[in-house]
Chains A and B, each alone.
Chain A
Amino acid sequence: MPEGYLPILFLLAIAIAFPVIALIVARLLRPSIPNPAKLEAYECGIEAEGSSRGRFTVRFYIVAILFVIFDVETIFLFPWAVRYKQLGWFGVAEVTLFLSILIAGYIWARKKGALDWV
């Protein structure tokens, strides 16, 4: 039922319009007196020591990859969950198999220390 989505689009349109209009109104009302010190990035009142455009630690990429794996797995589970009653024990067995592969991977990653933080 695609027409069911129309109100959502309508809501999203308002949701975009509201902040944009508010920002425009704010722009008309608020003062704008920038000066060099004001435009500095906040670093506790001191000029920044380093740039924040560097490369940061690789840990974050590992989390991202792990997340992709697990999130995709969750998405796979949803269709099964919807048909859970109809699929019966067969479905449960399948999902157990599916999850056990995943859990094996999880245990491996854990043993490897991918889940250890710093």
Chain B
Amino acid sequence: MTFETLLPYLMAAIFAMAFPLVTGYLVLVERKILADFQARLGPMRVGPHGLLQPIADALKLILKEDTVPKDADKFLFYLAPLLSVVTAFGSFAVIPISATLRIADLNIGLLLISALAAVGVFGIILGGWSSNSNYSLLGALRGAAQLISYEVALGLSLVTVVMLSGTLSMQGIVEAQFNQRIWFLFGNYGLMLLSFFIFLIAAVAEVNRAPFDLPEAESEIVAGYHTEYSGFRWALYMLAEYTNIFIICAVAATVFFGGWLRPFANIEWLAYPMDAIFPAALLFLSAWGCARMKLFPFTALLGISGLVFLIPAVATALSAPFWFFLKVSAVFYVLIWFRASWPRLRYDQLMDLGWKRLIPLALGALLANAIIGML
């Protein structure tokens, strides 16, 4: 067993252990950014600037009573959140963080993600149906119809990516973007922008985010499919949801924004300046933090790590994950932006948008890309 062969297992273990915490912090980041949009502060009480809020939330959810409605289908009620979590986690296996940091490089990577997403729908349907509550049932029906409707558009937009890359492997897609000297976002003389547009809309709908958060539209159907879930079982749904958001952002970053590649990846002399952006950002954050937030241990840590990362070898090693996570964060930010700006669609409008606008548009984009790509 060499390190190379062990690395995927290590990654898998680290990921599965760390991701519950990461999702907690994704929620915190979302709340903070939303708060910023909405002229308020967000969580401030637990830890400095609410930094310990996710841990407090997790503890609370573990200690909270977990009720099961008396007429629920117990087996399915227990199974559904697990299904959601497992499928969400499984998708992460094929996401490459850098050329070597990945769990698996499958030649069906992209397909695996859509397959697992399709299975994930069952988590919502079964959870909603088994609760034997009207609100859950409505949420489940909405979820089922919505997720399968937008999956088609999502798949069609990904087909155009595969046409450019010639492979379904996530690694291969990033490498293809390196070899073709272009992010696929701008591929086919800019026609891929249309594909990205379709992908983004369908992706937001796939992960039940505003303005497509109908399955859990709290002002209409209370909490939708997870109305009856409480305690840690509910937390599992949230975990799955935020993992899915992360996955979908990561897929967007990988297939459209060149994954771990830095901008201008083919220009050699830009290597160190680009790699140094991360430590520079840390140093800037540290300075800003010292000036504004008065969190000296934390900001000092940031500053020191910034200085260490300036060492060329370290900077190069960290460059790929940095750019990957930066791109993921950018897409994540856009999703939060959507949530802050838009009202929720109505159910029939959602279906119309999916079936009557997005799918014809996706088919058109596919054919147009097929023809332009050949020229």
Contacts and interface: CB of A to CB of B under 8 A. Distances in A.
B65 A30 contact: yes
B63 A30 contact: yes
Interface residues of B, number: 82
A33 B228 CA distance: 16
B90 A82 contact: no
B12 A10 contact: yes
A117 B352 contact: yes
A40 B156 CA distance: 43
Contacts of A43: 133-135
A71 B152 CA distance: 6
B233 A23 contact: yes
A60 to B, nearest CB: 6
A18 B89 CA distance: 11
A74 to B, nearest CB: 4
Contact of A78 (B11, B20, B159, B239): B159
Interface stretch (B24-32, B98-106, B206-214, B311-319): B98-106
B286 interface: no
Contacts, number: 200
A32 to B, nearest CB: 6
A14 B231 contact: no
B359 A106 contact: yes
Contacts of B106: 4-5, 8
Contacts of A56: 137, 141
Classify the interface of chain A: helix, strand, loop or mixed.
helix
B3 to A, nearest CB: 14
Contact of A81 (B71, B159, B222, B236): B159
B51 interface: no
Contacts of A36: 70
A101 interface: no
Nearest to B102: A7
Interface string A50-75: 11110010011001101100110011
A4 B222 CA distance: 43
Contacts of A102: 363
Interface bin, chain A: 35 or more
Contact of B137 (A52, A67, A89, A92): A52
A85 B166 contact: yes
B62 A92 contact: no
Interface string A96-109: 10010011001000
Given A38-B67, A71-B152, A115-B351, A81 B163 contact: yes
A41 B89 contact: no
Given A60-B145, A88-B374, A115-B355, A52 B89 contact: no
A77 B15 CA distance: 32
A48 B134 contact: yes
Given A66-B355, A67-B151, A4 B104 contact: yes
B335 interface: no
Contacts of B132: 41, 51-53
A11 B134 contact: no
Nearest to A17: B16
Given A10-B12, A89-B374, A115-B355, A99 B134 contact: no
Interface string A26-50: 1101111110101111111000101
A79 to B, nearest CB: 9
A46 to B, nearest CB: 11
Nearest to A59: B145
Contacts of A5: 104, 106
B261 interface: no
A99 B348 CA distance: 26
B159 to A, nearest CB: 5
Interface string B238-263: 01000000000000000000000000
15 contacts: A8-B12, A26-B63, A29-B63, A32-B66, A41-B71, A41-B134, A43-B134, A48-B134, A67-B151, A77-B156, A82-B166, A82-B167, A84-B166, A92-B371, A99-B366
Given A59-B145, A63-B351, 8 more contacts: A14-B17, A39-B68, A48-B134, A63-B148, A64-B144, A77-B159, A81-B159, A117-B352
